[in-house]
């Protein structure tokens, strides 16, 4: 009996620990943990300079119950509740369901062409998500590039900084900014040279690309050199993203893509 009680208490301790960890991830207290998938290209999609892009989303479910990443409710697929979509069983690492399913649900434009937000119940938050981006035309990075899948407690709330971004005519640098909770806020993008001098700035307003519940607010400067002519002759520069809306949570990253090889450098931020 004593051994059984100890085991029960141990199980309760583990459950309380997992709940506390999940609770720390649920920063808005709604009982769910939101995730941002910033680059979602589930079908081969053409890009700049003859490139072709594709993403995979992988999930490892260590929770005690099957997991449905689609986030039912509120997402509706083809007019039906998405209860029939298969679940990820506990203990299995596998490719997540194709978000091509959302093509039939999007009423304005396919949400599979852009960033996605989805949430899971707090008691199912013991998961690991990984997204891999592949460029198919050059095959320069056959193992793919890892794109962060960003959890709710990892969103930025203050000024974020992206340092030592390389700048040359041989590559294009882009900044992408996301508003996962769709608050409709604004951010100021500041460009600084290596000496820390502010040389340019611009205000951006992330907005949802579709009206469905899976679309994050989003905006981008896909060619920073064109957006900021002041970068001419600057070898390295820093980017600061300053939220202008009180209480706004956001996320951002900078990518630098080689024009010839299409290899990608990700510059992630800190705050």
Q: In terms of domains, do 63 and 86 share one?
A: yes
In three-state secondary structure terms, 113 is helix
Residue 22 is predicted with a pLDDT of: 57
* Average confidence (pLDDT) per 10 residues, the chain, 271 residues: 46 44 75 90 82 89 78 41 61 70 38 70 87 90 91 96 97 96 95 96 90 81 97 97 96 96 94 89
Q: In terms of domains, do 202 and 245 share one?
A: yes
In three-state secondary structure terms, 252 is strand
Report how far residue 213's alpha carbon sits from residue 179's, in angstroms, rounded to the nearest whole number: 13
Residue 261 is predicted with a pLDDT of: 92
Q: Which domain holds residue 196?
A: 156-268
Q: In terms of domains, do 185 and 138 share one?
A: no
Q: In terms of domains, do 62 and 140 share one?
A: yes
Give domain status of residue 228, yes or no.
Answer: yes
Residue 77 is predicted with a pLDDT of: 38
Give domain status of residue 5, yes or no.
Answer: no
**Nearest of 128, 71, 67, 136 to residue 99 by alpha carbon:** 71
Give domain status of residue 263, yes or no.
Answer: yes
Q: In terms of domains, do 39 and 129 share one?
A: yes
Give domain status of residue 19, yes or no.
Answer: no
Q: In terms of domains, do 253 and 200 share one?
A: yes
Burial 204-233 (b: 16+ CB within 10 A, else e): bebebbbebbbbbbbbbbeebbebbeebee
**Residue 207 CB-half CA count within 13 A:** 5
Q: Residue 187 is encoded by which pair of tokens?
A: 């951010």
Give domain status of residue 17, yes or no.
Answer: no
Residue 258 is predicted with a pLDDT of: 93
Q: Residue 73 is encoded by which pair of tokens?
A: 């409710």
């Amino acid at each position: 009996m004593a051994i059984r009680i100890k085991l029960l208490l141990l199980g309760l301790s583990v459950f309380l620990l997992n709940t506390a960890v999940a609770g720390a991830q649920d920063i808005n207290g709604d009982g769910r943990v939101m995730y941002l998938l910033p680059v979602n290209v589930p079908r081969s999609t053409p890009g700049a300079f003859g490139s072709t892009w594709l993403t995979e989303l992988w999930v490892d479910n260590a929770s005690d119950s099957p997991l449905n990443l689609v986030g039912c409710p509120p997402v509706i697929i083809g007019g039906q509740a998405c209860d029939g979509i298969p679940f990820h069983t506990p203990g299995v690492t596998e490719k997540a369901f194709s978000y091509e399913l959302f093509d039939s649900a999007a009423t304005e434009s396919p949400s599979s062409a852009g960033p996605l937000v989805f949430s899971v119940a707090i008691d199912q938050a013991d998961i690991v998500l990984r997204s891999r981006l592949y460029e198919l035309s050059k095959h320069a990075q056959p193992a793919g590039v890892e794109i962060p899948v960003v959890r709710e407690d990892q969103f930025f709330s203050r000024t974020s900084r992206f340092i030592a971004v390389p700048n040359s005519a041989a590559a294009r640098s882009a900044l992408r900014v996301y508003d996962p909770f769709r608050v409709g806020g604004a951010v100021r993008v500041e460009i600084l040279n290596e000496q820390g001098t502010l040389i340019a700035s611009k205000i951006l307003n992330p907005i949802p690309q579709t009206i469905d519940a899976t679309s994050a607010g989003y905006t981008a400067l896909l060619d920073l050199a064109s957006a900021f002519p002041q970068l001419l002759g600057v070898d390295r520069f820093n980017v600061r993203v300053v939220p202008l809306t009180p209480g706004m949570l956001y996320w951002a990253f900078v990518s630098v893509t080689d024009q010839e090889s299409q290899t990608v450098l990700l510059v992630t931020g800190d705050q």
